[in-house]
A and B are shown apart, each in its own frame.
Chain A
Amino acid sequence: MSGVASAAGGKTLAGYNFAYLDEQTKRMIRSAILTAVAIPGHQIPFGSREMPLPYGWGTGGIQVTASIIGADDTLKVIDQGADDTTNAVSIRRFFSKTAGVRTTESTREATIIQTRHRIPEAPLAEGQILVYQVPIPEPLRWLEPREVETRKMHALSEYGPMHVQLYEQIATFGRIAATYDYPVMVHGRYLMRPSPIPKFDNPKMDRNPALQLFGAGREKRIYAVPPYTSVKSLDFDDHPFSVESWEHCCGLCGAGASYLDEIVIDDKGGRMFVCSDTDFCTQRQAQGFRGPLNSEAAE
């Protein structure tokens, strides 16, 4: 967090402080982050600032990243697993202009990874920080619109209503139908929304060596999962939590245990399944792994 010093380096955009936010705002956000780390899964209010990007573009995540990033950090930004979407490119460009930091598409090289809707497939390590963009932080909001009441429910650990939602899904669909933003208990105490990641990624949150930070810009909330913290997905004894699986492996790299997206490959309705995590897929192909639809590319 050597923001001021590095801003003097001259590589960043003229007229702006290092990483765009002023130092006072950063201190305020860092203070919220520290509180969040001290109370895993608990939502901490913070004075969200206007950012030069519209809400829904991850202004909460951007403010968290801006507050923790230093000149020697290496930033990776992913959107639905991909590094090359408009959203990911814009955020990466924003920090490369305002903070002059190195950016990367490699999960392993990054010190900070800002993400929307995915956790990278490659295991994270101690010292890395995963910053989630959160649209709606309150897991109990669907049932209880009153903020005072949801705060009380958190304070008293009254989390029955969340299981009521799962009950309703089983009654309607015969199984727990939630596939993303699947609710979790953090450190056995606080109910938390993991942001709209697929439930496939939920097990990765559990006892992860990296620090996980969550920023909700519009709702002005920050929460955190410190390294090696227990994160358990809610379920019923007779309907245990399980993740998605696919009959196919990745068409490009042959991975059999990654989260797959279905994509249309021609105008005749041809389809293939490929890793949603593009860096993971590329790295595997570079190591010589090939999927069933990638034989030509291999030659």
Chain B
Amino acid sequence: MIEAVGLTKSYGKTLAVDNLSFSVPTGRVTGFLGPNGAGKSTTMRMILGLDTPTGGSALIDGKRYRDLHQPLRTVGALLDAKWVHPNRSARAHLQWLARSNQLPAKRVDEVLEIVGLTAVANKRAGGFSLGMSQRLGIAAALLGDPQVLLFDEPVNGLDPEGILWIRKFMHRLAEEGRTVFVSSHLLSEMALTAQELVVIGRGKLISQSSTEDFVAQATENTVRVRGPQLAALRSALGQAGVSIRDEGESLVVSGMDCADIGELAARTQTVLHELSPQRGSLEEAFMQLTGDSVEYHTEIADGPTPATLVPAGK
């Protein structure tokens, strides 16, 4: 289990992480979601003891990272696939890492096999594609067969094939009972990968919940009702106090679920041609929740200020 308590980090005037508390449960894939610049990478660097928090702490199974003995055996992490010397072979990179934590040399070949890099093990890492570099990073993370794994934006910049591979891989790690903490700025990606979600914006915690709950809570749940005569149903819905919106031939109802609307339709003897729950897109839901926290949000979203739209000379 990873636990952050009041984690804070400022770089000069920039408050990158702001009093962040969350916990990553054991044996599940937990997504770490937030727009770019939200502080995900900074948080992960603090968990790994690379950056020193300005305040608060991050603990792994109750210990600070720097107090772990041979930490690669406890925590594996891929923060940046480029943290490899370009002139060193993939095998040599894994060899020195393995040696530093007294891991058996044969483990190097095992992890190369797991990520499918055996054929290029003796090639210089500088010549690797991004997808291959990510695999090498994952191999490094797996070296010590750790129970806890951290991945920072592992699918960023990958082609669909690479994304699929990573996604399957995360699932496999969780099935093996490991704790996986994986960051992304894409909710759609996290919805496919993570069971739990820690959502942050501008360094602050927005929510921690199951992915399902987050999506349900974030999405405005509406029901589309279509039929030849909806007047009776409409007035019944009106009396029930839900909000109704006309959309062409149909009604869009929010505040009541399909089952209840169906019952009501039966009672008012209304013929229905469609009764379907509507879900906003995940990205919309995410933007809705983190909207206020997106850094540079106003600059990007507002476009030209109204003043500049006023014709000159008016």
A and B are interacting partners: no
